[in-house]
Amino acid sequence: MNKTYAYYPGCSVEAIAASYHVSTMEVAHKLGIDFAEIEDWNCCGATAYAHVDELLANVLSARNLALAEAEGRADVVAPCSACFKNLYFANEHMLDDADLMEHMNYALEEDNLHYTGSIKVHHLLEFFVHEVGLDRIREKATDRLQGLRIAPYYGCQIVRPRKKGQVMADVEEPRFFEELIEAIGADVADFTHRLQCCGASLVVTNRKAALAMLREILDSAVAAEADVIATACPLCQVNLEVYQSEVNHEYDTEFQVPIVYFTQLMGLALGSKPKKVALGKEVVPVAKALAQRQE
């Protein structure tokens, strides 16, 4: 029997980033991976929760990890970089600090939960590359994306802060996103701003700062002649896509860069119809960029 992985969707994928969720499920289906959504999961706290109290932020992740453990899972996979970072580091902190673990378990009693620390947390993108493996993906990929130039946008929290045992190169020169793009038969558009911040919640709290940051990323992707930017986080996708018109308004630019989730491109490469990977809900149209590559 196949191993089942706990899937932590995160709040964004319920509406604004529904395409990410739909395409993730489609790709999992194509690759024969069993994802089981954690029952009654709660918000990870994003960054705003940690602004108020660090323990408070940890207890939110502790509940999600405890729920997955109670369901008998060994791994939790999160598609959102902020959720991933919160789950991953809450887990690490609890493992490193027995007092914190005890404190969290005292709080978890209120929901009849207990966490022992057995869960491994993965970001969805790294899960595909490192757990599923590029060979398995390459094997199933068609040549549908041949010639499509994809800019792999890592953003921040998938690689930073660095994890235990990682060195500077893991943070400064990651290659796993590029490797995945090559494995699905597309071309990598190497762009300078692949690890620069999208502005995250500054789009709400300091709009001008966020637009300046977004402009640089879009500029860099255009300079690299990217057909499309692939993202691995709902916040990155929404900022780059939905606020692209605001960048154009602020800077008198004419950006029309399609921004998709990497799973949507994976799905296409694996033979899924565009509808199956929820293409068509974009504010910046994607169809034209993809048209010449599809039957």
Question: Which residue stretch of 13-21, 136-144, 184-192, 269-277 sits at the interface with another protein (rule: CB under 8 A)?
Answer: 13-21
Give which of 203, 238, 206, 209 is closest to 11, Cα–Cα: 238
Q: Which of 34, 71, 97, 143 binds another protein (CB under 8 A)?
A: 97
- Residue 17 phi/psi, 5-degree rounding, is -120, 30
Under the binding rule (CB under 8 A), the answer on residue 14 touching another protein is yes
Going by the DSSP 8-state scheme, the letter that residue 271 receives in this structure is T
Considering only residues 116-155, where is the footprint of another protein by CB under 8 A? Answer: none
By CB under 8 A, the residues from 18 to 57 that bind another protein are 18, 40-43, 45-56
> Minimum Å distance from CB 225 to another protein?
23
Contacting another protein within 198-227 (CB under 8 A): 199-202, 204-210, 212-213, 216
- Tokens for 19? 């395409």
Beta carbon nearer to another protein, 183 or 214? 214
Report which residue type is found at 247: V
- Amino acid identity, position 124: L
C-beta closer to another protein: residue 29 or 207 = 207
70 near another protein, judged by CB under 8 A: no
Task: Please report how close the Cβ of residue 111 comes to another protein at its closest, in angstroms.
Answer: 4
Binding string, 250-289, against another protein, x = CB under 8 A? -------------------------------xxx------
Nearer to another protein, 97 or 143 (CB): 97
Contact 39, 69 (CB under 8 A): no
Continuous H helices in the chain: 18-31, 54-70, 81-96, 98-108, 124-126, 134-140, 168-172, 176-183, 202-205, 207-223, 234-242, 244-251, 262-269, 287-291
Kind plus residue range of the DSSP H or E element containing 161: none
The residue among 184, 65, 88 whose CA lies nearest residue 128 is 184
Copy the structure tokens of residue 69: 């453990």
Contact between 93 and another protein by CB under 8 A: the answer reads yes
Nearest to 37 by CA among 74, 1, 5: 5
233 binds another protein (CB under 8 A): no
Assign 219 to helix, strand or coil. helix
80 binds another protein (CB under 8 A): no
Number of residues that bind another protein (CB under 8 A): 72
Q: Which is nearer to another protein, 270 or 290 (CB)?
A: 290
Using the contact rule CB under 8 A, the part of the chain among 26-34, 140-148, 161-169, 255-263 near another protein is 161-169
Determine the 3-state secondary structure of 274 from DSSP.
helix
Q: Which is nearer to another protein, 60 or 119 (CB)?
A: 60
Closest CB 21 distance from another protein, rounded Å:
12
Helix, strand, or coil here: 229? strand
